[in-house]
Structures are given as structure tokens and as C-alpha cells.
Amino acid sequence: MHLNHEDIQALEAIFTPDRVRVDADTLATYGRDWTRVYTPAPSAVVFPRSAEELQRLVKLACKQHWALVPSGGRTGLSGAAVAAQGEIVVSFDRMNRILEYIPEDGMVRVEAGVVTEQLQAFADEHGLYYPVDFASAGSSQLGGNIGTNAGGIKVIRYGMTRDWVMGLKVVTGRGDILELNGGMVKNATGYDLRHLFIGAEGTLGFVVEATMAMARRPYDLRVMVLGVPDFASVMPLLSSFQAAMELTAFEFFSDLALALVTEHTGLPRPFETTCPFYVLLEFEGEHAQVVDLAMRRFEHALEQGWVMDGVMSQSQSQATNLWRLREDISETISRFTPYKNDISVIIQKVPDFIKDIDEIVAQEYPDLQVVWFGHIGDGNLHLNILKPVDASMADFVERCQRVNLQVFDVVRRYRGSVSAEHGVGLTKKPYLGYTRSEEELFYLRAIKQVFDPCNIINPGKVIDALPQVDPEA
């Protein structure tokens, strides 16, 4: 797709000239996400300030057959925000206001460009808590989180982004502005269209506003890091602690992940014992009885051989540093340009699932470094293959994609997901059939056609549309 001078003028008539950018630096910055497989090549970047401006853009784009790609914090890992085919990037950087605080309902109405950390800070100022959290909270935007149904490190207690979205305002691919659910807890009036947009990766339209629920602020969070001897010890450890207390997090990472983080950051190891794997768990320790109970669970795990060593935070600064051992993994390994798999199964199947995947990894990548980590408390594993310095990106990706076929065969056998929280985008699109049936894919295409009949909203991502129809017909 290529825009001529008249096209740029038409965009400037909607957004004003200062909010239409075509310079090379802006195009390169806004045309990509955290994936590095695709070369950014958008035709323009626009910065809307209202739903009405987006409505005008969508209607013009439908007539002109322009492809539009929504862009938030661009922290995605599946290529959903990539513009590599001359698309127009729609950035929400200038729609970043917190619009309304509704204390009676514990809700906040925000624009899509509000950064996750901004909402977390706002909640904290009002004695509340926004619990959806992950390493990219300082740059990811709420619209992007909603588009991918972001999860992160607290899912075991607080669920996914979907669980906190009480209402949405969207602009569909037809150019309609819809206000969905309005923040209500109870609304039994047919299909809840809000949930179609959550996790749709911007393929049905643009999320412009969201009404987000808040939680109570947790009390005195304690963090434990436990060294475990093998994969098999992780699940009985989880069951033991969950039977005794409510956990707010249960994370998992390998010794290689820990070694890379401590080398990169200068953080100390949690204890002297070197263990094959580590578990980080978090709980509210407001009462001394809960802390004592956690220590008894730890001692029991030592007796059972599930744990080799461990430490519990005694201060907020120590808790923060222990969390960094887990949260700094993605940033640390980014310099190796890793190939990422984000897979999940139900918790019951995790031990056998990991064993089968690990056998494939050991056989197929004997010469490469493999970093395991993930939110194992909710069945989500991140498998990261580190690219050798001397390998070309094309050869490395091709090799990983071949191995994907074996990995995803196992995922299908366990009735799991090829993308637990990173979305489908471009990178996982070829493998969607490993998780979704042909019948489901038909309905997904049909939904896409209804909301985006011109196939202009993030086309080519997640799923191919049915043949185009005239929206005026």
C-alpha cells in the first residue's frame, strides 16, 4: 500500500498536520513491536485524540482500501502491531487520559493509551490495586493489554485482563462507535460484545476507552524463592502451598535464566545452593500465623525432597530484588534475540507436558541455550531459544519454526494453547489450528467479517477474513 500527496492531505484533514507523521524515524519506531522478525514499512503514523476522529478514518480507509494497524506500547511478542506492508499505523499515545474515577463501584474509566503502570499508580493513590502486572507494565498500554487479554505474574490470584474490563468504547471496522456494557456487573441483555474485543488483537476495531475494575490493596506481600531439583517437584510444591494459603503468584525459572539475570543486573543469587530450577511464590503475610504456616510448608517440602534451599523476604526492598530475578528475565535475554514459545495446558497436565516438551528441546537444540520460565501456577510456560551470535536471523527462525511443529503436536495432544498470553499476531498464526478446530476457525472468520467487512483493521493478523463484502449492501 502506498499513500500519495492527496492521501496525506486527507489524513491531515482528520488529524491536523502535526498528528500525521511520515518521517523515516517515526515509521521505523511505530511500525514494529518487540518481535524482530519483520521489517517495519508503514506508509504513515497517525495520532488520534477521539473516537470521532477514528470513526472518520475508518470510513475513509474502507473507501480507499487502506489497511490500519493499531499501536499501543508496542511491547507485543507476536507481531500483532507490526506494519510491514505499507499500512497506516494508528497510535494511541495521545489518548492517554484517566477520564473518571467511580469510587462507589471501584472503577476507573481510561483512554486506551493509558500505560499499565499509570493505572496501577492511580489505583494506589486511591487505596486500591490494579493487579494485572508484568515486566512491560512501564510501557504497555491498556488498549494493547485488552487486545491481547494480557496475563502476567498475578493470574493465579487475580486472573487475566478480561476479568477487570467492565466496559468498552470501540470503533468497529464498519466505522460504528459502540459503548459496551457500561461498567455494569449485571447485564443480562444478550451477547456481551465487549468480550469479542478482548483478545482480538485489534482485528475487529479499535478500543478507545475502557472501564476497569480495581481490587483492594494487598497487605504485607511476602516473597519466597525456592530451589527445586527437577520439574516433577514443582507441582506438589504448588499443591502444598495452595492447600495452606491463598497465593498471589507462583512463578518458575531455570538456573540458566537466573545466571543470565544475575550476570546482567548484578543482583545477588537468592542463596548459595545452585539448583536446576527455582520457584518464586508470593502471599499476603499480614498475620504472623500465615508467615509461620509458610515456613512449615517450606520445611515439609525440604523433608519431601521437593526443595533444596530457599529464602523468604524480610523487607520490601528484598522482596523487590527477589521479584527482579524473575521479572528481569525477558529484558536480560532480549539481547540474544530469543525465539519465544508461549504455551499452556491445564495445571493437572503440566508435569507430563513439560517432560514431553523438554525431550523435544533436548533432542532438537543440543547446541543452543534454552531458557525456561513462566507462570506455572496457571499452566503457562515460556520456552526461549537463544539465537547464537554467529547465526543469521533467517536460518535461526527457520530452524525454530521446524521444531515448532513437534512442540505444537504435543500442545495439541494435551489440548493446550499455542499462545497462552502473547497473542497470535503473525508469529503464531500458522499454528492456530493446533489449538482451534476448523469449526471454530470458521466462526472466527465470520465474526471478523461482521465487524470488519472491508478487511482493513489489522488485516492478515490472527486469522484471514472471509471474502470481502460491501458494508453498504
Let me know: does 144 contact 199? Beta carbons within 8 Å. Answer: no
Place 468 in a pLDDT band, splitting at 50, 70 and 90. Answer: low
- Which option is the CATH number for 221-330: 3.30.230.10, 3.40.50.10800, 3.30.70.2190, 3.40.50.2300? 3.30.70.2190
pLDDT digits (tens, 9 = 90+) for 167-194: 999 999 999 999 999 999 999 999 999 9
CATH number assigned to the domain covering 5-91:
3.30.43.10
Average pLDDT, the chain: 94
Predicted pLDDT at 156: 94
Can you read off the three cell numbers belonging to residue 237? Answer: 510444591
Place 470 in a pLDDT band, splitting at 50, 70 and 90. Answer: low
pLDDT digits (tens, 9 = 90+) for 23-72: 999 999 999 998 878 899 999 999 999 999 999 999 999 999 999 999 99
Domain ranges of the chain: 5-91, 98-216, 221-330, 337-427
Can you read off the three cell numbers belonging to residue 292? Answer: 509461620
Residue 15 has pLDDT above 90, yes or no: yes
Residue 132's nearest CA partner among 210, 197, 188, 196 is 210
**CATH level 3 topology of 98-216:** 3.30.465
Residue 166 has pLDDT above 60, yes or no: yes
Whether 221-330 shares its CATH topology with 337-427 is answered yes
Let me know: does 358 contact 230? Beta carbons within 8 Å. Answer: no
Q: Which CB contacts under 8 angstroms, 24+ apart, belong to 18-27? A: 19/46, 19/47, 19/48, 19/49, 19/94, 20/44, 20/45, 20/46, 20/47, 21/45, 21/46, 21/47, 27/89
Record the pTM: 0.92
Predicted pLDDT at 466: 75
Predicted pLDDT at 465: 80
Find the mean pLDDT for residues 405-412.
96
CATH number assigned to the domain covering 337-427:
3.30.70.2740
